[in-house]
Amino acid sequence: MFRLSILTFTTLGYAGCLLSEPKPSGELSNVRACEPDCDSGELLAAPGKPSITILPSSPSANDNLNCLVTLPSDAGSHTVVYAVEWSKDGGPVAGLTTPIVTADNLLPSETWTCTVTAAIQGYEAQYFTQSEVAEVQIQSIGPPSPSIEIQPITPSDSDNVVCVLTTPSQTTATGTVSYLYEWSLEATNETKHTSPVLLSSQTEADQIWSCKVTPFDEEGTEGTPVTANVEITTATN
């Protein structure tokens, strides 16, 4: 169990002492008014709910999940401890009781839920607890960038220029990768053509062209693009 002690604040409470067999009928079902044979009349009540969040808020399967207490529970003069539980797609995940879930546990499209339970220190097994829940969905990861090369390496204005995949993006586990080709002039940075081939009729000497290739997985998730540049020379007779 993950426990974190925090600073506490003095607030109004209920004079009472713990019953030998608590009754789960409400926040204060396990306290009763102190009688002559009771202890000193310690203030004892369930702590307030904590506020929690999971970061990052839109994680991918490359990210670690971190369940954070953003606003601590208020338990008067008592110390509050926290217990963390994780569930995946509605089912508990055994053994994950720390605030951090590492990326090697995650897959795209999974829904992860963090439950943080606040308790008065020393009464964690009783009914002096309050829980709060946060949830995130794991986002798809786009393909990594491919390696590209523009051929010929030194084209003239009489050559067709080709943007070649020398190393394709890694194929995803559930499908193949598609590519978007975008040719743009360095002077304008506007996409002019969307084919791997730039025809000689589309170029002029002294122009600098950029080929940008963006990979997409079978779900349409955009990966990391890569860019290469080339300068068009004057053809010699």
Fold assignment, 17-137: Immunoglobulin-like (2.60.40)
> What pLDDT tens digit does each residue of the chain (237 aa) get?
333 333 222 222 333 344 333 333 333 223 322 223 334 455 567 788 899 999 999 998 889 999 999 999 888 888 889 999 999 999 999 999 999 999 999 998 899 999 999 988 887 666 568 899 999 999 888 888 999 999 999 999 999 999 999 999 976 555 689 999 999 998 788 899 999 999 999 999 999 999 999 999 888 888 899 999 999 999 886
The residues, any chain, with a CB within 8 Å of residue 32's CB and separated by 6 or more, are 16, 17, 19
Partners of 83 in beta bridges: 117
Fold assignment, 147-231: Immunoglobulin-like (2.60.40)
How many whole angstroms separate alpha carbon 60 and alpha carbon 219?
15
Give the pTM. Answer: 0.57
How many whole angstroms separate alpha carbon 69 and alpha carbon 132?
10
State the virtual CA torsion across 10, 15, 17, 23 in degrees, nearest 10: -100
The answer to whether 17-137 and 147-231 have equal CATH topology is yes
Q: What are phi and psi of 150, to 5 degrees?
A: -95, 130
Q: Where are the domains of the chain?
A: 17-137, 147-231
Looking from the CA of 157 toward its CB, the CA atoms found within 13 Å total 13
Which stretches of 12-121 are DSSP H helices? none
Token pair, residue 39, equals 């202890």
Which of 68, 137, 130 has its CA nearest to residue 100? 68
Distances (CA, A) of 143 to 45, 67, 138, 213, 226: 52, 28, 16, 12, 12
Partners of 51 in beta bridges: 71
pLDDT of residue 37: 32
